[in-house]
Amino acid sequence: MSLPSKKAIQVDENITDYQYKMLNLEMVLRYDDTKCLECGFCHRVCPVTTQIVDGKEVPLKRTAIGTPEQMNIKSDKKTVVDLDKCIWCGSCTWICPGYTLELFIDGQKKLLLVENGSLPEFEEEIRELEDGRKVRKVVEGSIKITCNETDEKIIENFVDECAVGAMSRKEKDIEVDINKCILCFKCTEASKNYENISVEVHRDRFKQVKGEPGSVWNGIMLRVLGKEGKIKGIISRTQNKLADAVMRLLGREFIEE
């Protein structure tokens, strides 16, 4: 096997190890499909964005991690990783509300961007779902759902979209239990498939942040809180200032095209 090498290793039917092996370093991003909430946070914090060009420029965001639909990868898993784009920075692990992702460096759990102060530690609110899974809430804000749907079956279907059981139907309206809601992106994305239901989420701030992180944190924070609007695509990773900054902080640089 030539080095460096990248491959996806199916540990069992639910766990996948995304491995990046170099001569003197091995990094593994471990994904557990049973824990995935399809919340969308990993897709938002990933510092890698590229632009797909097919004859002309198409403003389509692509990151290294997301749903199969977002990544244009056929899979029955809730979330997939693009090995060609992933830089194993651990940003997705750092924010994952469902403890779905773990980053191992030479066999040890590590988040170098936290250790070197580039990403902060933050206060988190841990909750337990009815099925026993633990989740954490990492941002504060509000959510408003407008329901003009008259078909109660469709309303029930939408309510079931919530990964943490925070939504319920009250006659022909939808109520949100803010004590359960983690202000993720799942219902917002799902509402695109419901003509008469709309969702408005305001992610105002991260919960209490410790320390004074730098520019990488600022870039990631803007993406999660949505204050930058849509992320503009770029043609290559080496033109991505945020990804380049992350790589420098990790002590690595892109050497691949």
Q: Give yes or no for a contact between 172 and 155, defined as CB atoms under 8 angstroms apart.
A: yes
- Domains of the chain (ranges, CATH numbers): 5-129+210-249 (no CATH), 139-205 (3.30.70.20)
What is the predicted pLDDT for the residue at 51? 52
Burial class (CB in 10 A: 0-12, 13-18, 19+), 256: exposed
Q: Is the pLDDT of residue 60 over 50?
A: no
What is the predicted pLDDT for the residue at 251? 62
Question: Which of the four pLDDT bands, split at 50, 70 and 90, describes residue 41?
Answer: very high
Interhelix angle 241-249/215-225, nearest 10 degrees: 130
Hey, which residues does 137 pair with through a beta bridge?
125
Q: Give yes or no for a contact between 166 and 176, defined as CB atoms under 8 angstroms apart.
A: yes
Q: What is the pLDDT of residues 185-229, one digit of tens each?
A: 999 999 999 999 999 999 988 888 887 777 777 777 777 887 543
What is the predicted pLDDT for the residue at 246? 64
Q: From residue 52, how far is each of 47, 58, 232 by CA, in Å? A: 16, 6, 12
Range among 23-37, 57-71, 236-250 rated most confident = 23-37
Q: From residue 184, how far is each of 17, 37, 127, 141, 190 by CA, in Å? A: 25, 9, 14, 10, 12
Q: Give yes or no for a contact between 216 and 113, defined as CB atoms under 8 angstroms apart.
A: yes
The continuous run of DSSP H or E covering 230 comes out as none
What is the predicted pLDDT for the residue at 52? 47
Question: Which of the four pLDDT bands, split at 50, 70 and 90, describes residue 50?
Answer: low
Q: What is the pLDDT of residues 1-29, one digit of tens each?
A: 567 899 999 999 999 999 999 888 899 99
Q: Read off the pTM.
A: 0.83
- The C-alpha atoms of residue 208 and residue 102 are separated, in whole angstroms, by 23
Q: What is the pLDDT of residues 99-138, one digit of tens each?
A: 999 999 999 999 988 888 888 888 888 999 888 899 999 8
Q: Is the pLDDT of residue 235 over 60?
A: no
For residue 59, the Cα-to-chain-centroid distance in whole angstroms is 20
Report the pLDDT averaged over residues 153-168. 95
The tokens 């590590």 sit on which residue?
A: 110
Burial class (CB in 10 A: 0-12, 13-18, 19+), 68: middle
Question: Which of the four pLDDT bands, split at 50, 70 and 90, describes residue 257?
Answer: very low
Average pLDDT, the chain: 83
Q: Is the pLDDT of residue 67 over 60?
A: yes
Please name which of 36, 34, 42, 1 lies closest in space to residue 20, comparing C-alpha atoms.
Answer: 1
The continuous run of DSSP H or E covering 45 comes out as helix 41-45
Report the pLDDT averaged over residues 82-103. 93
- The C-alpha atoms of residue 184 and residue 198 are separated, in whole angstroms, by 15
